[in-house]
């Protein structure tokens, strides 16, 4: 496909001028402190929520296992997503908060680095895998658990500056 019949947005840095995927060259960038926070919502039946809260799951510590899985996943992001840079991660925190109004859990992942590129994908990967692990640990009680609303909550640092979603 030639450039004549292919229009490419200048914001899509993972595409070269022929529209082919490429890993972005960040070697000229100065390392700066960057942090990203992502969230995932896991919704389930009240009985499943109560069993997890009471620790009555045959597979063991559901929330502890999901937390560790999220941390491990953040560290593997560049192996999972083809064009992500491997980054030195200085902080990974996965918080799983019970929410009886769902009923279910809100999973927050915070990832921090000092590098040439951001950690949004690492934060999103952390909450995604933590949510999947929670599902895996509890699927024996309920197959209809829903993983919802995985998104970036905020990011700081880098050339594009700080980000937080607009209030709706």
Question: What pLDDT digit, counting tens, does each position of 66-120 carry?
Answer: 999 999 999 999 999 988 999 999 999 999 999 999 999 999 999 999 999 999 9
pLDDT over 90, % of the chain: 72
Residue 136 has pLDDT above 90, yes or no: yes
Asked whether residue 167 carries a pLDDT value surpassing 70, the answer given is yes
122 annotated among ligand-binding-site residues:
yes
Which of 4, 16, 61, 136 is catalytic? The answer is 136
Mean pLDDT of the chain: 90
What angle, rounded to 10 degrees, do the helices at 120-138 and 46-54 form? 100
Mean pLDDT, residues 120-125? 98
pLDDT at 3: 42
> Per the annotation, does 116 bind a ligand?
no
85 is in an annotated binding site: yes
φ, ψ dihedrals at 128, nearest 5°: -65, -50
Homologous superfamily (CATH) for 29-156: Molybdopterin cofactor biosynthesis C (MoaC) domain (3.30.70.640)
Beta strands 104-115 and 146-156, pairing class: unpaired
Q: What is the rounded CA–CA span in Å between residue 36 and residue 84? A: 15
Give the position of tokens 């953040």: 74
Domain boundaries, the chain: 29-156
Question: What would the mean pLDDT of 130-146 be, rounded to a whole number?
Answer: 97
Confidence of residue 9 (pLDDT cuts 50, 70, 90): very low
Q: Is 90 annotated as a binding residue?
A: no
Q: Is 4 a catalytic residue?
A: no
Is 84 annotated in some ligand binding site? yes
Q: What is the pLDDT of residue 67?
A: 98
DSSP codes, the chain: --GGG----TT-TTB-TTS-B-----TTSPPEEEEEEEEEEEE--HHHHHHHHHT--TT--HHHHHHHHHHHHHHTHHHHSTTPPP--EEEEEEEEEEETTTTEEEEEEEEEEEESS--HHHHHHHHHHHHHHHHHHHTTT-S--EEEEEEEEEEE-STT--B-PPP-
Per-residue pLDDT for 4 more than 60?
no
pLDDT score of 1 more than 50: no
- Of 147, 135, 138, 140, nearest to 38 by C-alpha is 147
pLDDT at 14: 63
């Amino acid at each position: 496909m030639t450039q004549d019949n292919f229009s490419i947005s200048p914001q899509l840095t993972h595409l070269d001028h022929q529209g082919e995927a490429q890993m972005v060259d960040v070697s000229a960038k100065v390392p700066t402190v960057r942090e990203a926070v992502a969230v995932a919502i896991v919704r389930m039946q009240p009985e499943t929520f109560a069993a997890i809260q009471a620790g009555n799951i045959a597979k063991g510590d559901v929330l502890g296992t999901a937390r560790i899985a999220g941390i491990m996943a953040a560290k593997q992001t560049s192996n999972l997503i083809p064009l992500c840079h491997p980054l030195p991660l200085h902080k990974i925190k996965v918080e799983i908060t019970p929410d009886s109004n769902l009923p279910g859990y809100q999973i927050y992942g915070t990832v921090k680095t000092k590098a040439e590129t951001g950690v949004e994908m690492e934060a999103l990967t952390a909450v995604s895998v933590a949510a999947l692990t929670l599902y895996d640990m509890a699927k024996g009680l309920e197959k209809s658990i829903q993983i919802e609303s995985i998104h970036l909550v905020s990011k700081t640092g880098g050339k594009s500056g700080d980000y937080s979603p607009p209030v709706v």
